[in-house]
Amino acid sequence: MLLVFSVVSWAITLYKLREFRKARAHSASFLDVFRKSSKFSEVQAVCRTLTDSPLVGMFQAGYAEITAQVRPAAGAEPKPGGAPARPTLKSLESVDRALLRASSIELGRLERRVGFLATTASITPFIGLFGTVWGIMTAFQSIGQTGSSNLAVVAPGIAEALIATAAGLFAAIPAVYAYNHFTHDVKVFASEMDDFALEFLNICERNFT
């Protein structure tokens, strides 16, 4: 059981390291394009190549909401001799809600499987301790059956019982470190998403209200 917990937690650790590395790289590339582009449609065109960034999911949700709101205005017939109607948002709060919903979805995706590391860190030491207690009980039963308390008789059984505790710690310690590391990374991503949402809303307010 401890071996299974250890193997799965290491697999999750390696997978999340790769996922977060790609997310950081894609986020940096996306922000560079987002801040240099003059139109949201130009940013939308590159989103398909940067899908690992949580900011892309937020942008697409916000862009979809803006498109749904301004489409009627953009398709309206201009007045004779007048300029085309300027696209305006009906509700900036709706865009904010779309961004919040997308942020929650992206955070859930980033946190997926990280909880198993916390489970491994909290459970495996107790499983190891249980194995050690069981082994010591077995060792004392053997001592009672043989009637000898010689160290040569006692030591091998106790040493074998302690292997379970060592195995539990071997599974738990890396899981604790990985869980804390990924939790910190998720908080950094969440902060970046909050900053991006504010930046996106500021652009919307300047251009569509």
Q: H or E stretch including 52?
A: none
Q: Where are the beta strands (DSSP E) in 148-208?
A: none
pLDDT of 8 above 60: yes
**106 neighbors 57 (Cβ within 8 angstroms):** yes
Question: Domain residues of the chain, as ranges?
Answer: 2-115+176-208
Residue matched to tokens 């007045």: 79
166-192 pLDDT, tens digit per residue, is 999 999 999 999 999 999 999 999 999
Q: What is the pLDDT of residue 74?
A: 46
Helices (H), 112-147: 114-146
User: Cα(139)–Cα(26) distance, rounded to whole angstroms?
Assistant: 57
DSSP state at residue 148: -
pLDDT for the residue 84: 56
State residue 148's pLDDT score.
62
The closest of 7, 14, 10, 54 to 30, measured between CA atoms, is 54
Q: Which of 84, 106, 78, 64 is nearest to 204 (CA)?
A: 64
Average per-residue pLDDT in the chain?
Answer: 86
Confidence of residue 115 (pLDDT cuts 50, 70, 90): very high
Rounded to an integer, the average pLDDT of 197-209 is 88
**In this structure, what DSSP letter does residue 39 have?**
S
Please report how many Cα atoms fall inside a 13 Å half-sphere around the Cα of residue 132, on the Cβ side.
Answer: 15
Task: Quote helix, strand, coil % in the chain, to nearest 5.
Answer: 85, 0, 15
CA dist list (Å): 2 to 120, 166, 193: 9, 10, 37
